[in-house]
Amino acid sequence: MSPTLVPLADAAETVDYAATTFLIVCASFVLLMTIPGLALFYGGLTRAKSILNMMMMSFGAAGVVGIVYVLWGYSMSFGTQDVAGIIANPFEKFGLAGTDGIVNPFGYEGYGNIPELAFVGFQMTFAIITVALISGAVADRIKFSTWLVFAPLWVTLAYFPIAHMVWGGGLLGGGETSLSGLVFGSTDGEANVAPIDFAGGTVVHINAGMAALVLALVVGTRVGFGKVPMRPHNVPLVMIGAGLLWFGWFGFNAGSELAADETAALVWVNTTVATCAAMLGWLVVEKIRDGHATSVGAASGVVAGLVAITPACGSLSPVGSIVLGLVAGGLAALAVGLKYKFGYDDSLDVVGVHLVAGLWGTVGAGLLATEGGLFYGGGFEQTAVQILVAIAALLVSGVVTLVIALALKATMGWRIPEDVEVSGIDQTEHAESAYELTARGGRIGGASGTAGARAPEETHDLEGAKG
């Protein structure tokens, strides 16, 4: 991802249609990752009584974050009026003012002119999935209303600043005044050792993973956590979701090149092999530790691999990507057990998968980068920068999330009543149930505003309801 978008002064310049098509299609892929990919992945992992609430947290995040992104999110992330390297002025491009032109992420290399709005759309889908990822940590037990207030607050105070810091020319980028520029010096306005985060290891995965950990701690454990079985209720949905995530991730990673060029092709291959290796890495750990290679393990390994290769995919060789993926799958498989050891209820393992694999991918990029990587004779500097950036992202995300989570706890409250949680959040928060398998009859009407409110006095048995 190239952080600086160069506006084109010359009106004669036209868009690069190949790059523009590529970017719009990739943006659509990334939206598919959240809806329905992540919604299905998470939904299948919950219990049957709370799948709808789980899926609704992804849908709800999309609804809120999409609007916020257009209003002030894009301006805060990629605006030109930088404030202390932390955010950009939210009012500069408020409501996408002045974004109807053509920009070039490559600084006039003869290709890659794209409408700024294509870039806006692409980046919007990243903000959406990052918020949706967090929801896995708080399955089954939080008020939907509190979630819908958390989403815009968190994306505004944590995501947009970190996106600006990493991609918008801020503190965690590769500029003269960035953290790495200050530590390792800079030449001609560019840091000597620029951090590597091609598609969002820090911005998306470390950020969401850390937020998930903090939120799980503030919200508390589910009723019966560690005592009653909470096994995934629909494993095929988990695998469909993982498959859609994998597919959509091509838009996420290859799309981050912002043009259909040789780097995008390398990224596609790296994304695929790292994911293959991570799936196998997870399964090997499971086979040795538990005696079986499981379906949920394969699906989780896929996601861990995709997370790990995200920051590194533009800097590694395909063979280096295999190594990165293999380690990612194994590490994440070991990390998902930590929550039982430490007693935090990160329900669907956002920490074990996204935070751990995201940290490894960010640090691993420093080790395995073909240019400047430690294992390629580049010395320790790149890895040091990667660690520095990862720690900074952890701190910002952790502190901001803690403040928001505690504020909401003191005001709206996070938890639904305990008896409601036990009987199932779907029925009380959404007045629905996911599965109707018993055909147990019932009658129309009751709630206001439904057709039944005007129905004749006699009640009808639903036709065919009685077997």
Partner 1 sequence: MKLVTAIIKPHQLDEVKEALEAFGIQGMTISEAQGYGRQRGHSEVYRGAEYTVDFVPKTRLEVLVDDMDSSSVLDVILKAAQTGRIGDGKVWVTPVEDIARVRTGERGVEAI
Place of tokens 């995501």: 159
Q: Does 294 bind partner 1 (CB under 8 A)?
A: yes
Total residues interacting with partner 1, rule: CB under 8 A? 18
DSSP state letters, 87-107: EE-TTTTGGGTT--SEEETTS
Query: Which distant-in-sequence residues (6+ apart) come within 8 Å of 244 by Cβ?
Result: 32, 33, 36, 37, 40, 41
The type of residue at 363 is V
Shortest Å, Cβ 285 to partner 1: 9
Which 344-373 residues touch partner 1, going by CB under 8 A? 349, 352
Among the candidate windows 12-20, 187-195, 293-301, 439-447, which touches partner 1 by CB under 8 A? 293-301
Q: Does 340 bind partner 1 (CB under 8 A)?
A: yes
Q: Does 287 bind partner 1 (CB under 8 A)?
A: no
DSSP state letters, 296-326: HHHHHHHHHHHHHHHHHTTTS-HHHHHHHHH
Q: Does 342 bind partner 1 (CB under 8 A)?
A: no
Which 304-333 residues touch partner 1, going by CB under 8 A? 333
Nearer to partner 1, 438 or 448 (CB): 438
Shortest Å, Cβ 356 to partner 1: 13
Exposure string of 352-367, with b = 16+ CB inside 10 Å and e = fewer, is bbbbbbbbbbbbbbbb
Interface with partner 1 (CB under 8 A), residue from 16, 116, 257, 286: 286
Are the CB atoms for 69 and 127 separated by under 8 Å?
yes
CA–CA gap between residue 138 and residue 181 (Å, rounded)? 38
Shortest Å, Cβ 47 to partner 1: 12
Among the candidate windows 84-92, 133-141, 205-213, 336-344, which touches partner 1 by CB under 8 A? 336-344
Of the candidates 241, 255, 288, the one whose C-alpha atom is nearest the C-alpha of residue 44 is 241
Shortest Å, Cβ 460 to partner 1: 21
Interface with partner 1 (CB under 8 A), residue from 297, 329, 358, 364: 297
Shortest Å, Cβ 266 to partner 1: 32
DSSP state letters, 382-395: HHHHHHHHHHHHHH
For residue 66, what are its two tokens?
Answer: 């999409």
Interface with partner 1 (CB under 8 A), residue from 7, 182, 224, 290: 290
Shortest Å, Cβ 261 to partner 1: 38
Element (H or E) spanning 346, and its range?
none
Shortest Å, Cβ 360 to partner 1: 18
Q: Does 292 bind partner 1 (CB under 8 A)?
A: yes
Shortest Å, Cβ 171 to partner 1: 36
Q: Does 232 bind partner 1 (CB under 8 A)?
A: yes
Residues 211-230: x where in contact with partner 1 by CB under 8 A, - otherwise, as a string: ------------------x-
Q: Is 71 left (phi over 0), alpha (psi -120 to 50) or beta?
A: alpha
Q: Does 301 bind partner 1 (CB under 8 A)?
A: no
DSSP state letters, 387-438: HHHHHHHHHHHHHHHHHHHHHHHHTT-SBPPHHHHHH-HHHHHSS--S---S
Q: Does 178 bind partner 1 (CB under 8 A)?
A: no
Interface with partner 1 (CB under 8 A), residue from 20, 300, 310, 362: 300
Are the CB atoms for 366 and 389 separated by under 8 Å?
no
Instruction: Determine the number of helices (DSSP H) and then strands (DSSP E) in the chain.
Output: 19, 7
Q: Does 337 bind partner 1 (CB under 8 A)?
A: yes
Q: Which residues bind partner 1 (CB under 8 A)?
A: 229, 231-232, 286, 289-292, 294, 296-297, 300, 333, 336-337, 340, 349, 352
